[in-house]
Structure 1
Amino acid sequence: MRTSKIVDKWGNPINVELDEPQTESSAKLAQLHNHYGDHPSGGLTPAKAASILRSAERGQLIAQCELAEDIEEKDAHVQSELGKRRLAMQSVPWNIVPPPNASAAEQRDAEMIEELLRNATWLDEAIFDAGDGILKGFSNQELIWDFYDNTHVIEACEYRDPSWFQVNPDNRNEITLRDGSHQGEALRPFGWLAHQHKSKSGYLSRHGLIRVLVWPFLFKNYSVRDLAEFLEIYGLPLRLGKYPAGANEKEKMTLLRAVMSIGHNAGGIIPKGMELEFEKAADGASDPFIAMINWCEKSQSKAILGGTLTSQADGKTSTNALGNVHNEVRTEIRDADLKQLQNTLTRDIVYPLYALNGKTYQNPRRCPRFEFDTTEPEDIAKLADPLSKFVEMGMRIPTQWLHEKTKIPIATKDEAVLSLNSSFTNAKPAVNTTQLKGFAALRRESIEPFADQVAIEQALDSLSAGEFDQQMIAILKPIFDAAEHNPESLKAQLSQVWPQMDDAEFTQRLAQVLFVGELWGQINADS
């Protein structure tokens, strides 16, 4: 049998057996494969439910786990809400993160483990099955190992029924296999993905949501049963049979059968001398039963998702703002679920792969970590403007942080990267006078003040000559002369200088600019 000598996180040596799964190699555990559930939800009463929960506290988990299975199968609302939490865990990306200040060799080991898990076809299903611990408090999956290319790999991850396990009486937070002994058989190292999910504080048998959901499920079933009975008799008239004095037992039973069947068959016979009367139809309303059912389902939604508006809306108190708040709570619950699960995956999946295959393995303290990426990408448009201002102020912002915020991956050395075209960034819009002249020729009958082609061409030619500086100097010449002769009294002289400024040429030039701008806009609009 192939074994590996590994040390645990306390430095104690552990023997790892990878040839066969534990539940298939031990004769004492063979009986587990023949176990079938008892479905304790049948005839469930408050007293029976309390008894099941008390037995679980004493380490006997079978009835509590089977009751949880029944609730998830029989109650569509519970199944839907739990499904949202379990499926949400599958949609989040993940990475294998090297230890802090990792060497190049440690980084290569982390990349090796990530490559193995990226190629694993069982991982998504394992994450989903681990979510079963939300309801039951724990979820155990057995690892199936293989060895090829000098590498230990996990070929499969088999979900094991919760009824196969018990709580060790000497350690109420330890799960063991039911082998008929008092303590049970301990789970084999490197052989299990054993996830304990804390939905509430307490020891292991009280972690699961089953202990909260059993009561709304029970009361909801009572209301559904009563509603079904109400609907069966609602609207039917009360049938009253009258038998004469001295009727014997046979005659009474004959009348009773007629009373019971005449409502469904719309006809029947009774002996002469007997009477059959129809009283007022059964009256009542279904509202109390529906109200109780709704209360139970809202309680279930609150326990599972932390709110009701992501699954139910009453059309009165439900608003978009409240729905967004409830969805944020749901996201927080998902992130908390993933934090618990990533610790289990690091301990039971990443560490065994690192210990068996890692080139740098010395002890568990430098083990890579399995991490879910729960950060949301920032709004790039909102982030770009303040960042540019911070950079102008002298802040030194690392590019790695920005890549994480925006979820934009960092390019490798050999990858092509986006860049701004220098000819595009430096280009300035140029006036194509030939194009403008041709377009103006088509529009000259509708454009003022340039009513003929000659005037249009002169306007375009003057714009391309670049004579603005000289024109502005000619206009401002009176101000320059006054400033040169007596700068102290310039302010007082402006009222006298202003009438001497000839802006006729400048006004003409502005008209030409506006004209060309109109032509340029029409050309671009039509292109």
Structure 2
Amino acid sequence: MADIGLVDQYGRPIVREALTREIAGPSLTGVRSPVTGYPGDGLNPIRLAHILRAADSGDPLRYFELAETVEERDLHYVGVLGTRKRSVSQLNIQVEAAEDTPEANSMADMVRAWLKREELESEIFNMLDAIGKGISFTEIVWDTSMGQWFPKRLEWRDPRWFRFDRNDGKTPLLIGSYDSIGISTVTTPTGESPFPAFKFITTVVRAKSGLPIRSGIARLAAWWWMFKGFTQRDWAIFSQTFGQPVRVGKYPVGSTNEDKDTLFNAVANIAGDLAAIIPESMMIEFIESKNVGAGSDLYERRADWLDRQMSKAVLGQTATTDAIAGGHAVGQEHRQVQKDIERADAKALSAILNRDLVQAWVQLERGPQLKYPTLRIGRDEDEDLTQTIEGVTRLVPMGLKVSMVEMRSKLGLREPGPQEEVLTAPAAPSPFGSLLGDPAAASSLHARMLRRRSADEVAELARVAENLSEPAFTELVDHIKTALQSAVSLEDVRTHLARLKLDPARMTRALQMALVIAKLAGRTDIVDGR
């Protein structure tokens, strides 16, 4: 039964009965058989060209089977392809609310809770099967047992069970029908069924622009795998032929046929059995090939070169997979290329999940919305914290306002509690002493004067004030002394003193401190009775 109120991005109405049932699973008796073929056996350029042309014409069965075969039989290809898929499947996933409202935040929290599932990493890995084949299909199995819509499982489906619309070459269709679950489907003349709305995640990752069936890396890898297979076959023949010396048996004139057969059997079996007996009159000679090393190196370099081309196609570089000299700088540059590809894959997959899963789920659960939560897969961008701290340290004194919450977040520090001891910056030193420009400290000094009346306490305060002000007075005296020593006349003294450009405010504070010291000294004299 169709729900007229809801449609997917293609305008297809929602058939709720189809959403809670598996409709694209395998069956031994149906058209979606789990048994696969092996078109890679005995592959040659003519057969490969026919397989690719058939895929372009709307029959991708052999192409998908060949792509699977290449992954199973080429260790290097499956390694670099797995590296690319795992680098994305392990990235952090964040969900942003459409807007700052209770309803929008509630929808975002709903998606965040679902992302905590342990199966998600393997499900994303399976979706990225599209990196190799160009496209992958994932069936959403919805759960409504609690009265709410919930994506219970994301089941990867074999791409061999799908075809493309012959009119545009990109609209996927499911081979066969799903009438068995009680839903009548309209099939194409060739026997395919259109997807039910909100039922599949269709992942397309393009290595190049074009139709999905022609944009996968497997299309390129198939040629390289075939060439590498030829190289490995020739290498094996070469090693078998020249990897051990040629045995030549010599028999004397007049030997009988029985003697000749005995010698031949000994020569033929000596490599495998490493033992043989022959009459004394016969002789076996071993002739070694002189070009075994050079010939073997040629095949190895050919296979390694093909592997490096495969690395470039999958990861965009070779430094992280192949033993290529170049130093740290080259390695860092190649790693940056791999990060660029990882970022592109993550953005593409994020857009696909938002389109086929998040928006579908929100519509089923909450109804159509103007805006939907946004899911983002990606690595936190590396930030030079040292440079950030240096910039803040320089700009804050110039008036830049920086949020303490933001800085704590960048440094990974929490806000201290009310009873916790906190670190504070040391007081900045002043040419005239630390107390001269510190009103709080001056007020504290005055309070101490009022509280302490004894001669010893007043004398101690006088000594403290004198010690604090000594640097200021010393600096002032040094400036004047220098001016007097370099002058030759009274007028010259005035000129030198005018050039000192002493800060009037600092001079005033110095004089004020001198008065404080004088008063303290006077109080000491009064207490002592002098």
- TM, length-normalised to structure 1: 0.73
1:444 maps to which residue? none
The Cα shift of 1:156 comes to 1.0
1:18 maps to which residue? 19
Query: In structure 2, how many angstroms separate the alpha carbons of the residues matched to 1:11 and 1:392?
Result: 59
Out of 305, 309, 331, which is 1:299 matched to? 309
2:360 maps to which residue? 352
Equivalent pairs: percent with the same residue?
27
Q: Is the 2:224–2:306 Cα contact (8 Å) retained in structure 1?
A: yes
1:308 maps to which residue? 318
Amino acid at match of 1:93: N
Distance 1:11-1:229 versus aligned 2 partners, 3 A rule? closer
1:108 maps to which residue? 106
1:405-454 CA distance string (max 9 Å, x none): x4859x8xxx867999678446799xxxxxxxxxxxxxxxxxxxxxxxxx
Query: In structure 2, how many angstroms separate the alpha carbons of the residues matched to 1:472 and 1:400?
Result: 42
Distance 1:38-1:83 versus aligned 2 partners, 3 A rule? same
2:71 maps to which residue? 72
Distance 1:90-1:356 versus aligned 2 partners, 3 A rule? same
The Cα shift of 1:313 comes to 1.9
Distance 1:493-1:127 versus aligned 2 partners, 3 A rule? closer
Query: In structure 2, how many angstroms separate the alpha carbons of the residues matched to 1:418 and 1:299?
Result: 61
Q: Is the 2:14–2:196 Cα contact (8 Å) retained in structure 1?
A: no
Residue 8, structure 1, aligned to residue 8, structure 2:
yes
Distance 1:159-1:252 versus aligned 2 partners, 3 A rule? farther
Distance 1:354-1:397 versus aligned 2 partners, 3 A rule? farther
Q: Is the 1:233–1:282 Cα contact (8 Å) retained in structure 2?
A: no
Out of 240, 247, 253, which is 1:239 matched to? 247
Out of 117, 125, 149, which is 1:152 matched to? 149
Amino acid at match of 1:130: M
Q: How many pairs are equivalent?
A: 448
Residue 35 of structure 2: SS of its match in structure 1? coil
Query: In structure 2, how many angstroms separate the alpha carbons of the residues matched to 1:176 and 1:98?
Result: 33
2:493 maps to which residue? 490
Query: In structure 2, how many angstroms separate the alpha carbons of the residues matched to 1:278 and 1:179?
Result: 68
Q: Is the 2:19–2:199 Cα contact (8 Å) retained in structure 1?
A: yes
Distance 1:464-1:223 versus aligned 2 partners, 3 A rule? same
Counterparts in 2 of 1:422-501, with a 5 A limit? Answer: 424-425=424-425, 466=467, 468=470, 488-490=491-493
Amino acid at match of 1:49: L
Greater shift in the superposed pair: 240-249 or 383-392: 240-249
Amino acid at match of 1:106: A
Counterparts in 2 of 1:278-427, with a 5 A limit? Answer: 278=285, 280-284=287-291, 285=293, 286-315=296-325, 318-358=326-366, 361-363=367-369, 365-391=370-396, 406=410, 424-425=424-425
The Cα shift of 1:264 comes to 2.8
Query: In structure 1, how many angstroms separate the alpha carbons of the residues matched to 2:400 and 2:428?
Result: 32
1:467-486 CA distance string (max 9 Å, x none): 6266777777878999xxx9
Query: In structure 2, how many angstroms separate the alpha carbons of the residues matched to 1:303 and 1:481?
Result: 81
Query: In structure 1, how many angstroms separate the alpha carbons of the residues matched to 2:312 and 2:423?
Result: 59
Distance 1:200-1:492 versus aligned 2 partners, 3 A rule? closer
Amino acid at match of 2:232: V
Q: Is the 1:176–1:183 Cα contact (8 Å) retained in structure 2?
A: no
1:450 maps to which residue? none
1:21-42 CA distance string (max 9 Å, x none): 1225x99x96245331112221
Q: Is the 1:174–1:204 Cα contact (8 Å) retained in structure 2?
A: no
Counterparts in 2 of 1:264-283, with a 5 A limit? Answer: 264-268=272-276, 277-278=284-285, 280-283=287-290
2:126 maps to which residue? 129
Query: In structure 2, how many angstroms separate the alpha carbons of the residues matched to 1:400 and 1:9?
Result: 41
Residue 50, structure 1, aligned to residue 60, structure 2:
no
Greater shift in the superposed pair: 251-260 or 384-393: 251-260
Q: Is the 1:301–1:311 Cα contact (8 Å) retained in structure 2?
A: yes
Amino acid at match of 1:138: I
2:169 maps to which residue? 172
Q: Is the 1:19–1:145 Cα contact (8 Å) retained in structure 2?
A: yes
Out of 110, 123, 142, which is 2:139 matched to? 142
1:516 maps to which residue? none
- TM, length-normalised to structure 2: 0.72
Residue 22 of structure 1: SS of its match in structure 2? coil
Residue 199 of structure 1: SS of its match in structure 2? coil
Amino acid at match of 2:64: C
Query: In structure 2, how many angstroms separate the alpha carbons of the residues matched to 1:471 and 1:243?
Result: 116
Residue 169 of structure 2: SS of its match in structure 1? strand
Counterparts in 2 of 1:204-215, with a 5 A limit? Answer: 204-215=212-223
Q: Is the 2:267–2:284 Cα contact (8 Å) retained in structure 1?
A: no
Query: In structure 1, how many angstroms separate the alpha carbons of the residues matched to 2:12 and 2:2?
Result: 20
Residue 149 of structure 2: SS of its match in structure 1? strand
Residue 87, structure 1, aligned to residue 86, structure 2:
yes
Q: Is the 2:7–2:197 Cα contact (8 Å) retained in structure 1?
A: no
The Cα shift of 1:321 comes to 0.6
Amino acid at match of 1:385: E
Distance 1:19-1:265 versus aligned 2 partners, 3 A rule? closer
Query: In structure 2, how many angstroms separate the alpha carbons of the residues matched to 1:66 and 1:208?
Result: 14
Structure 1: runs of 5+ lacking an equivalent: 430-460, 495-527
The Cα shift of 1:121 comes to 3.2
Query: In structure 2, how many angstroms separate the alpha carbons of the residues matched to 1:11 and 1:185?
Result: 16
Residue 195 of structure 1: SS of its match in structure 2? strand
Distance 1:255-1:171 versus aligned 2 partners, 3 A rule? farther
Query: In structure 2, how many angstroms separate the alpha carbons of the residues matched to 1:2 and 1:113?
Result: 26
